[in-house]
Structure 1
């Protein structure tokens, strides 16, 4: 069993957190660039925190699962068929679909109660499903690749994977939400 020193944990965590802060700032820049379009369809503004939270939650799930599997020897840091990773990937996708339905309900309810322009809930569901499933796929790939790379180089994926995935998830979540809204004809 490998034991880690506090200095190593802080060093690895600080580096990955610094990178995460820089990457996450791009999500805000994208939102700012599309501000007028978002203000025209307020339900999208309501969806942004939910999509970002979904990205973080999915990222934490896959990051911690892969890190634990690496430490226990259930997976090797190679891109190969693995039943453990396959089951976890299926679970992440199922959670993304369920979360998209829940997020649609909440965003539609909040938008209605706030008096925002009423967008058909099925249109909102189309946007959340498209962005949520796409986000889950990106999160899976990034989570597995980051965990494998950091593990191969002797870093503890527990210290690096989650901050990196959540920041990339923030940026990707906003980008995919805007793309899905565009494809659905909302912006």
Structure 2
């Protein structure tokens, strides 16, 4: 098989002759190792820092916008009468976010390898079909999880609620993937033309647009389908059947495409595993929220920023490996930049939360110090894990563009939630007790 050949090629590679590609997805159609017109120039650290920080701010404000939107739509009839829709939101947003971020990472690597100039049509078709196939199955999986979580406690199964959830989730995932896929392709093409490194901006933009777009579509579609709830199952059934037919068609096109075959093969386990890891974080959050009411809004911030930073780190490292650059040439400075961005980024969002009166915990100097310590430790651990995980996947013949980000963002949720719980426990223990710290 091609992967075995790739592994044997990699084993024979020496330090003086760096391996540039180990996967079929990044090999040029003519089987050339590297297009001769690509030049790898050293990136200015300050320019990279500005690009990353601006994209983090956009991602953060997109996250805040999604939170405000959820605060509005949670009072709609479909959310109050079909409570499983609310259960569906975090699962669907998390799974869809991983698909969009891995797409951004893959396309960023292709941009650096010059494939956008030589094979743009094939890349667009293959990746749009790939994420369509993944999104429909992921949407169905998320809906089944929501149905189970709503059904088991009450012991009653409602076929109308189940059909509404499945149809809403599948149609939302399909539409969001198509729209966001086109946007991400456009962002990366434009960034390359403007001499902006897509690794610095693509994954945070994917995260920010993904949550807001997916939540808006889910709310609208579920609300429309709710109007026919209890009278007919025809419309939801049609949506589910069309989605089921899309999966094999789009899957076949993605499998036939050299650029997406390996992603179709490798992309499932990381996404599903990430859902399991995130669920563990959800259990911790459920426990801590019952004790410290003010923790919920900060959980969104610490997990969002941590996830975006480690996604950029993994995307840049994967690109370096694919393009044959030395591992330590830029990653060291990137790690320092990302750690330095934690403090101003978190401060901006802490005070934004306070200004919008979205949080209930007083932003005392003690709170800021302990919260920042938790955020810094989370990002440090994530960047360290990212370095070793991406390198290990590369050595094992896996493409980190397809596999690393779901694991890392899920670990970010788990670490962020756990460390935030510890931070609030310390604040309570040392006497910084406002109403949300249990006093």
Partner residue in 1 for 2:373: 130
Superposed displacement of residue 161, structure 1: 1.1
Cα deviations across residues 97-128 of structure 1 (Å, max 9, x unaligned)?
22121122123223xx3583x51342332233
Q: 2:385 aligns with which of 142, 148, 153?
A: 142
How far apart are the structure 1 equivalents of 2:344 and 2:316? 20
Give 1:15 deviation, angstroms: 1.2
Write out per-residue CA displacement over residues 132-152 of structure 1, whole angstroms, 9 at most, x where no aligned residue.
111110110111111011100
Unpaired segments ≥5 residues, structure 2: 1-20, 26-257
409, 418, 422: which is aligned to 1:179?
422
* Contact 2:24-2:262 at 8 Å conserved across structures: no
TM-score (norm 1): 0.85
Secondary structure of 1:150's counterpart equals helix
Residue 79 of structure 1 is matched in structure 2 by none
Aligned: 1:71 with 2:322 = yes
Give 2:340's aligned residue: 94
1:24-58 alpha-carbon deviations (Å, 9 max, x no partner): 1011100112222222xx2x221111111112101
Point out where structure 1 has 5 or more consecutive residues left out of the alignment. Answer: 77-81
- How many Å separate the matches in 2 of 1:167 and 1:138? 13
Normalised by the length of structure 2, the TM-score is: 0.38
- Say if 2:318 is the partner of 1:49: no
Q: Select the structure of larger CA radius of gyration.
A: 2
How many pairs align? 176
1:24 corresponding residue in structure 2: 278
CA distance in 2: counterparts of 1:114 and 1:98, whole angstroms: 19
User: Does 2:287 correspond to 1:33?
Assistant: yes
Matching residue within 329, 335, 355 for 1:109: 355
SS of equivalent residue, structure 2 residue 362: coil
Corresponding residue of 1:3:
24
- Equivalent pair of 1:56/1:165 in contact (CA under 8 Å): yes
SS of equivalent residue, structure 1 residue 74: coil
Q: Are the equivalent residues in 2 in contact too, given 1:104–1:128 (CA < 8 A)?
A: no
Moved more, 61-70 or 95-104: 95-104
Residue 313 of structure 2 corresponds to which residue in structure 1?
Answer: 62
